Structure 1
Amino acid sequence: MIQINLLPPEHRKRQKQTPIGVFILIILGTIFVVIMIFGYFLLEQEIANKNSKLKNAKEENAILNSNLKEIQKLEEEIQKAKKRQKTIISIAKSKIFWSTKLYEFASIIREGNHNVWLESLEVDEKKFKAKCWSKGLSEANVARFRRDILNHRSFFSIFEKMEDYKDLKPKEIQYDPADEEEKENLTFTLVLKLKPKPKTPQTTKKKK
């Protein structure tokens, strides 16, 4: 059905029109939203790039730290090797026949029936250091072993004194299950201090 408005224009109802300001606000709002979305994705991309660079930097830093630790380890090993080399030279220059002394020390362990075993041995220009362990928890075997060393004139002749041990402690040794040996043992470190080298007398030149 077609409706025709026959009223004069001045009596007709005016249709509501959207003000121009509202259109401008809508356009500006749309532009703002687009800018915000675009800025968000730009920042997201920047964050991703920064994270990638940070990850690469951390990996490079880890490699550098690893290389630095390896260098420090090698330097420490070189210093230890130089120290051992110096010790060997010092021992070689000394007038002590270490082969004889080591044989005498082994004889004390073997023939003394102390139930003492040698674990490791260190010798330098100042001391003789032996890490040992004794079967069972009786300290009497250790005391007898130390006494026999002190009483062995030939072996102990190059030493100034025997230091007190401070690390005597029990240690479990794994034996064969069929073996009835005692599993509890005592470990200790034997330290013998070498006598100082005699000073070479200095000769004074006579004045003419």
Structure 2
Amino acid sequence: MISINLLPDEYRRARRTPIRLMGAVAAGVTINVSLLSFWIWNAFGPVAEAESQLEVLESDASTLGPLVDFHKSLEKEKRLFESREGTLDEIVSQRISWTEKIDQLVDVINRGGDGDERYLIWMDDLNVVQTDATKLKKGATSGGNLRANAHSGDGDFGLVANFFEDLQNSPFAESFQEPAPPEGQRNTKDPDLIPAEVFSFTLDYEMEPPQTVAAAKKPAEKKEG
């Protein structure tokens, strides 16, 4: 049914939207806007935060990458030098310092014994042969030898024995095996020479194998340390 208001305009009552309805609509709009905002924040907020953190991490990674590569190269170089150092230590531990050995031999010769049993020793030559440790067969009993043709300025063989005893009691004997009893011959007296009578003999020492030399050095190094 259609109703027509035939009253003049000035007598017509304006129709207004009820306040309760407006309040309900406003509340609904507010709730919907809030829910939409909350959904947008949940949907895009963490993503934006994650992307921001990712950018920071990528920036840090680009800065740290070269440092990590440099650290790895240093570690590799360190291992290489440690390997070389270990090889050199092994080589040194198996070798004999010949400068030191000659000095020790000369010291014994220069002292010439004690008291009335002093001796005068000189040598015609001195030959050293040291076998390369890498070429020695397993179980080798010698690492080389030291030989010399020597003379004592007295015909008394006992003085030669004293000389060998002094050598054995000196640091010179370290790294060497105990020598065989000395052998030699007394030369004919010649009054025109000084000394007039000499005893010629051979100095013959066999070296200990490299493994024995290295093992003997380790306790000494620990004691010094």
TM range (shorter): 0.3 to 0.5
Higher strand residue share: 1
Query: TM-score normalized by structure 1?
Result: 0.45
Return the structure number with greater relative CO, CA threshold 8 A, min gap 6.
2
Higher helix share: 2
